[in-house]
Amino acid sequence: MKRILHSLILSFAFINAFAQVPAGYYNTATGTGATLKSQLSAIITNGQTDNGYGGLWTAYQTTDRDYFYENDGSILDIYSEKPGSADPYNFTVATDQCGSSGYTNEGDCYNREHIVPQSLFNEASPMKNDIHFIRATDGKVNGIRSNYPFGVVGNASYTSLNGSKLGTSVTAGYAGTVFEPIDAFKGDVARMIFYFVTRYESQLSGFSSGNMLGGSAFPGLQTWELNQLLAWHAADPVSPEEIARNNASSNFQHNRNPFIDNPNYVAAIWGTPTVDNQAPTAATNLAAANPTANSVALTWTAATDNIAVALYDVYANGVLKTSVTGTSVTVSGLAPATLYSFYVIAKDGSGNASPQSNTATETTLTVPPGSGSCGTEDFSTVPAVGNPIYNTYAWTNNGITWTATDSRTDETLNGKAITVRNGNLTSTAVSGGIQSITVTTQLKFSGTSNNLNVEINGVNVGSIPYSSTVTTTTISNINVTGNFTIKLINPVSSNRVAIDDISWACNSTLSTNDLVKEKTFSIYPNPVKNNELFAKGENLNKILKAEIYDLSGKLIRSIANPFSKSNKINLHGIAKGVYILKTDNVSSKFIID
């Protein structure tokens, strides 16, 4: 409690150290609706000082400092700040600015984040330099956010260390890619955008919309974005941090954000949002069918909602696997010979979640890894970008998160693809080992034919050629077991290479062809219930070795002369599951129950 009180005292001292609202500043703001918006525009335009793009670094020394959470004077970054716990990292003013060398990871440096992207106004001044809507934020997350509008994310393709998300919109009226800050800063974002469309209302008709701005002075925003921001403004009221930043910005730039000074201006101009607190009903009749070694098909009857169901979150054994807008999906990335329990949860555009659907169960097939494709990436969930912007993009598909650096998402091969320039495509860890990998490529635009380097767990295993002709290539005999990562690297910075339809075969010491039986050899009981597996057949005592493998191909136990004294094998210490017994010339599957 003493620390909190001390922080509050310092916070209010910090607030009062800067300019307050000048007497009579809003005297001419007497109207409502479009009239009030224009009156405020005139007020906050008058006297504004343009301190240049470089001046933002100076401004951040007073405008974007943390005297409210950790109270340590570090940069207050809305993309890394965790109000209820320790921040994942902190930036020191001035010394941690992003420079020409750029950034690779979160926490490398902080940058100048235009909450309204500067590409929408062609990087023109004074918009480019206006402190009221340009925050000091993590360079990596700033790049991930790119020029996407703000909204509620359904299926996230990227989540920052404080929980800010990029992904598919579930905000009513917009189905594209959006960026969602954490709850503590949603109102801050809304009021910064309200400031922008008010201060620059006379120029909006000449700006690009970016799927967020309107083409006229009033209302200044597209309907879907306006409704979302109104809801965020209402749910996240003005904070002491915003008041302090507004005062410091006024001291630096000599104008103010009226929606922080008087939050009631928002309703007076745009009205109040319609709040949707009603959750959808539960989906019904969930059914599982058509299992393979790593996938199960699901169907269900749609939920209902007072406005509309936006998406369904699909869970397998309590883990979120994917989110879809329809009423069917094939859940991939599952383990072989495993019982799964599935359920779905419906969500509406306001994020209200339904109760769970009924549970459906299905067991994946016991085909051992090593035969056929056991993993794919078709780039169907790659973020959609209207403009050919080279950036870092991240998305999740089939339980695997992929990151592509210096890439673009607007080119296609067999549907969506990722086009890498001077960068690479990397997966998170994948289980089951890898025996071979297949990739489809095409050289886009100008350039010369070359090869992508392929690394598995950081080791080069071969190359994938690319040319102006669509080419599909397989690298075989990779022979990596256990967890692995995939990395495709474009070594020629002048070439832009589209990548699509990656697939791989899992690796196992055993393959389907190894599962052979002789008429004279059999094992029992199956399933095994008392940790003893018996064999019968001719010449058992002549078998030199027995080996037990799990379905990933991992050797669990090796036994020399297993039947020299009896016809049984002791399985004590081996967990329940499906295994393969391999003797000198015979292999058989069995289950430990």
Domain with residue 351: its CATH number is 2.60.40.10
DSSP state for residue 329 in the 8-state scheme: E
Of the listed ranges 118-127, 185-194, 455-464, the least confidently predicted one is: 455-464
- Could you tell me if residue 278 is inside a domain? no
Which residue(s) pair with 442 in the sheet?
498
- Could you tell me if residue 368 is inside a domain? no
Looking at the fold, whether 474 and 346 belong to one and the same domain comes out as no
Predicted local distance difference test score (pLDDT) of residue 7: 39
Domain extent at residue 475: 375-505
Distances (CA, A) of 580 to 126, 273, 392, 543: 70, 61, 43, 16
Looking at the fold, whether 173 and 301 belong to one and the same domain comes out as no
- For 382-387, the CB contacts below 8 A with 24+ separation are 382/157, 382/409, 382/416, 382/417, 382/418, 383/148, 383/157, 383/166, 383/167, 383/177, 383/409, 384/176, 384/177, 384/409, 385/146, 385/177, 385/409, 385/410, 386/211, 386/410, 387/119, 387/147
Predicted local distance difference test score (pLDDT) of residue 482: 78
Residues 6+ apart with CB under 8 A from 21: 256, 261
Query: 328, 331, 220, 252: which is closest to 47 by C-alpha?
Result: 252
Tell me how crowded residue 101 is: count the other CB atoms within 10 A of its CB: 8
Distances (CA, A) of 275 to 168, 228, 258, 310, 379: 21, 10, 24, 16, 35
R_g of the chain, CA atoms, integer Å: 30
Looking at the fold, whether 218 and 72 belong to one and the same domain comes out as yes
pLDDT winner (highest mean) among 102-111, 210-219, 302-311: 210-219
Query: Last residue of a domain, which of 218, 236, 270?
Result: 270
> What are the tens digits of pLDDT across the range 381-431?
888 765 567 889 998 887 788 999 999 988 888 878 999 999 999 999 887
Predicted local distance difference test score (pLDDT) of residue 515: 46
Looking at the fold, whether 435 and 358 belong to one and the same domain comes out as no
What is the identity of the amino acid at 43? I
Domain count along the chain: 4
- Could you tell me if residue 232 is inside a domain? yes
> What are the tens digits of pLDDT across the range 385-397?
655 678 899 988 8
Looking at the fold, whether 398 and 532 belong to one and the same domain comes out as no
pLDDT at 105 over 90: no
Instruction: Please state the separation of Cα 590 from the chain's center in Å.
Output: 40
Segments in 182-329 forming alpha helices (H)? 186-199, 223-235, 240-253, 258-261, 264-270
pTM: 0.56
Distances (CA, A) of 445 to 20, 150, 419, 421: 55, 32, 11, 11
> What are the tens digits of pLDDT across the range 346-377?
988 777 899 999 999 998 875 446 445 578 89
CATH classification of the domain holding 586: 2.60.40.3080
When pLDDT is cut at 50, 70 and 90, the band that residue 508 belongs to is low
Looking at the fold, whether 230 and 343 belong to one and the same domain comes out as no
Whether the CA torsion 128, 131, 135, 140 is positive or negative: it is: positive
Phi and psi angles of residue 63, each rounded to the nearest 5 degrees, phi first:
-85, -35
Query: Last residue of a domain, which of 270, 301, 329?
Result: 270
Mean of pLDDT values over 2-26: 53
Instruction: Please state the separation of Cα 419 from the chain's center in Å.
Output: 19
Looking at the fold, whether 209 and 261 belong to one and the same domain comes out as yes
When pLDDT is cut at 50, 70 and 90, the band that residue 311 belongs to is confident
pLDDT at 511 over 90: no
Looking at the fold, whether 430 and 545 belong to one and the same domain comes out as no
pLDDT at 13 over 50: no
